[in-house]
Structure 1
Amino acid sequence: MNTYTANENRYEKMQYRRCGKSGILLPLLSLGLWHNFGDKANQDNARSLLRAAFDKGITHFDLANNYGPPYGSAERNFGKIFAEDFKQYRDELIISTKAGWDMWPGPYGNFGSRKYLIASLDQSLKRMGLDYVDVFYHHRPDPDTPLEETMGALDQIVRQGKALYVGISQYSAKDTTRAAKILRAQGTPFLIHQPRYNMMDRWVENGLMNTLEHEGIGSIVFSPLEQGILTSKYLDGIPEDSRAATEGTYLDKSQITPKVVAQIQELNKMAEKRGQSLAQMAVAWLLKDSRVTSVLVGVSKVSQLEDNINALHNLEFSPEELKTIDRILGF
């Protein structure tokens, strides 16, 4: 068994931001386990990523029931590493998981029923070897299940001691307001919303961020780099070993158009003037808004994690810079 002792200066290396109107502070960067923690991933590398993150003050690890592949494997592999390396630090960690997408066959393994959510979290806790998670999310809106049932399940989960706080992901501003009203009436701690947000995808600006601020709910944003588009990877088109060329699951070749390449080339020049990589500028651009509590990063190498952390040295943008970014991207 590996013996791991965390860096004693870890909390000097990270900045933290209050999550809405709660008692929780989150690191400006959180580690997402969507990729690189499933059974096909190198587990020594996965361990190195988790250790490096915590050593640099990243206290929040974000999972979901279907992260892998295969489904469940990211939680299971995290559980093994947690038992060996992080059990002694449990009270310093915020561990989250989610349910809402298809997880097992039949009508009870998807969306937002009480049966699915409670069963899924029980399975997740078993895979990770945890008594509770800090945050449990409903992973996506369910158009057919009454919101009262879904939020009622989240309330029950907290009362059972299986989660300390609850959150939602990808809900509209209107449904977020409704969810907040239901949870408030039940006395359930509604901590956070996890939306997709980056320079190129700004749907949250059409009301959601204002709603979160009004309701006192924090936000943690995923896909900050638009599945790798907002990095140096595609500055010269599509490399043969890139996700767009090989996988096509989350990022399709058709998204890397000549127009997009021209846009990221222009953004890259701007980032260089700021003394940042394009990826660093994309992360900093999100954190310029204090309503963004944390940015969720998914990395495959420790060097990528360190690159993201270095973005925190320059979070300030001039009005001219912001206008230029909007012009380049057509906003």
Structure 2
Amino acid sequence: MKSFFDKTGKMALGSRLRMLTARFTDDATEIYKLYDLPLSPKWFPVLFILIEDTEKTITEIAEEIGHSQPSVTKIIKEMAAAGLVASNLKSADKRTNVVKLSEKGQQLSEKLKVQLVDVEAAVETLTSEARHNLWEAIAEWEFLLDHKSLLRRVNEEKKLRESKDVRIVEYEAKYQSAFKALNEEWISTYFTMEAADYKALDNPKTYILDRGGKIFVALYKDEPVGVCALIKMDDPDYDFEMAKMAVSPKAQGKNIGWLLGNAIVKATKELGGKKLYLESNTLLKPAISLYHKLGFKKVVSRATPYARANIQMELVLDN
């Protein structure tokens, strides 16, 4: 019969690590008894630091062992109740409160040092019997998770999976109402609709398509949930403007903005454009982050028909 972890696989990594931690903790409790040490396993990090350094503040201990300050404070109180530490002492310069081992704690630390020699030898033996070095693997995983958390990795996989149900198609007349509604939704949420908005949204064919631009529509399971326009500019510095990007709140988190942005960049290149321009507002942090991810850089402010625009950006294309 398959075990629980055979059935779940790696998705239960956290549960398996907790069980392994519990096994080590239970053994640690018995090991302390073996050496006649009245200690709780959770005290060890604090005790070890105080053995290494004669006195420390709670903040210093918390930072060094990677615990929260409230957690360390609780441990210190428990150790003080056991007579192992003296707390709320003044440092040598009288400026901060510090914690240090009591006389009882110092005596106990000498016995602990003997135990640690045996524990380290036992762990080395266990490591030599294993095919994989757990200690080194943990360090590697910690490094990788510091760089990118598991939450972020899962979110990326979620976006990737859901984006497979997204299709980017070119605008057709049947999408005109969605083009307008999606833009009205986000603009009205943060700002006020302006005359320039209605000009483009009410007449996309005349204002955008007939002038050499394009509009892309994101379909999620065949429902229009995102739009973005590529507007031909009559400007000495820029060929096209990326504008009117909107994604329905119910479809956010599916990489749709990224897919639309890439469709715009690709179309700009295909049309021979060298520089792509956009306007936005710094309140829209996810949008600004997306533009940076696409390669846009902030430029000096230019004249704009939109009262809400407070940032202009450009993307220089390498065709």
TM over 0.5: no
The TM-score normalised by the length of structure 1 is 0.23
Higher relative contact order (CA 8 A, sep 6+): 1
Greater helix fraction, Structure 1 or Structure 2: 2
- Structure showing greater radius of gyration is 2
Greater strand fraction, Structure 1 or Structure 2: 2
The TM-score normalised by the length of structure 2 is 0.23
